[in-house]
Amino acid sequence: MSRRGAVIAAAICLAVTRPASADDRGLVVLVGASDGDPIVLKISDELRALGFEVEVAPHGSDRDRIRSRARHGDAVAVVLVDKDEIEVRVAVGQDVEQRRIPRRRDIDTSTSALAAVEVVRGYLVPVDARAPTDSIATPPNPSGATSAAPEGEMRTLSVRLSAGLVYAGHFPTLGAVMLGAAKQFGRVGIEMSALAAIPRAEAWCGGAGVGLRYALLGHARPISLVVAGGVAGLAVAYQEDAKKWTTKPAALPYLDLAIGVAIIGPFVVRVDGMIGAAIPAADFKSKTVSDVSFGSSVAGVSAGVELAW
């Protein structure tokens, strides 16, 4: 074969092997956490295999500007990789859909990469054009637990029910039941809670609070670690004599640390530790001992179940 014939044959081969949809999928902009980030290469290869054009931006690029390209620019999607998570933004009509995927370091890098690619593919590749391939199969759940949400997708709502003990200085120790709810916005969230002590013969307290929370480990499962701070309004009651109960209000600024372990699907076993101080302290006269005060130091421990979806 002549040299010219060989060139023509090679061009024909390239035309045949190039994805037929490469001109139709659009541009995806990708930026990694560092130079030579291995997960960037994996994501880039998978997106190109699906027919997307991929632009890899330097890791020091302005990420806010890159994010805006999915809405106002020329990109159909942007993928931003950092040390802890992968942010995927996909332009769908006039809207931009966003997903955050934990970057798992305890398993193969390809698992998190494929999860990010699946988000882009789910929005932009028609169902009838999705050829089943081994390289873009749905990544396995490394925790071995079934899940109501896709692996790596952030669970934004949760409710919990816990039981525990409340210690408040010289005030009688009380058993308590706590009900809470939270809404996550990335790692930051808002939480609301209500507490009701199990009444004792001479003491009781109850109230509700609101606060902010921060997920220290991101959205990785099965372990979660959350720190929270806020303020609760309390009603504190004490029986000062045989016929008289006295009730006083108090504000309770608090800090809370929660450790959770996913057990099955959306269910999480959670243990909390709380410290705070009542303002003002609620002081009462006691029938049998010196004055009783609820205030200077308040602590609580509890355990329960959280449902997240």
For residue range 224-262, list pLDDT tens digits in order: 899 999 999 999 999 887 778 899 999 999 999 999 998
Q: Where in the chain is the domain with CATH 3.40.50.800?
A: 17-136
CA distance 275 to 50: 52
- The CATH number of 157-308 is 2.40.160.20
- C-alpha 166/C-alpha 174 separation (Å) is 5
Q: Which two three-digit tokens encode residue 85?
A: 């998570």
Q: How far apart are CA 46 and CA 50, in angstroms?
A: 6
Helix (H, G, I), strand (E, B), or coil: what is residue 201?
Answer: coil
3-class SS of residue 178: strand
Please give the span between the terminal C-alpha atoms of the chain, in angstroms, as a whole number: 63
**Angle at the Cα of 103 from the Cα atoms of 100 and 109, rounded to 5 degrees:** 130
Which of 255, 263, 262 has its CA nearest to residue 299? 255
Report pLDDT for 140: 43
Per-residue confidence (pLDDT) for residue 94, from 0 to 100: 77
Closest CA to 167 of 301, 257, 284: 301
Residue with tokens 């480990």: 217
* Both structure tokens of 216: 């220290």
CATH of the domain spanning 17-136: 3.40.50.800
Angstrom distances, CA of residue 129 to CA of 19, 47, 125, 206: 11, 14, 7, 58
Mean pLDDT of 27-47: 86
Amino acid at 51: G
Q: Which residue has the tokens 């504000």?
A: 251
pTM, entire model: 0.54
Tokens in use for 50?
């699906």
CATH 2.40.160.20 region(s) of the chain?
157-308
Query: Which range is least confidently modeled, 130-144, 183-197, 219-233?
Result: 130-144
- Residue 156: per-residue pLDDT: 84
User: Taking residues 14-36, what's their average pLDDT?
Assistant: 64
pLDDT tens figures, 133-147: 444 444 444 343 333
Whether residue 303 contacts residue 268, with contact meaning beta carbons closer than 8 Å, is answered with no
Cα distance between residue 88 and residue 81, in whole Å: 9
Distance between CA atoms of residues 119 and 152, nearest Å: 11
* CA dihedral (38, 44, 45, 47) positive or negative: positive
Lowest model confidence (mean pLDDT) among 76-85, 167-176, 214-223, 238-247: 214-223
Count H helices, E strands: the chain?
A: 5, 15
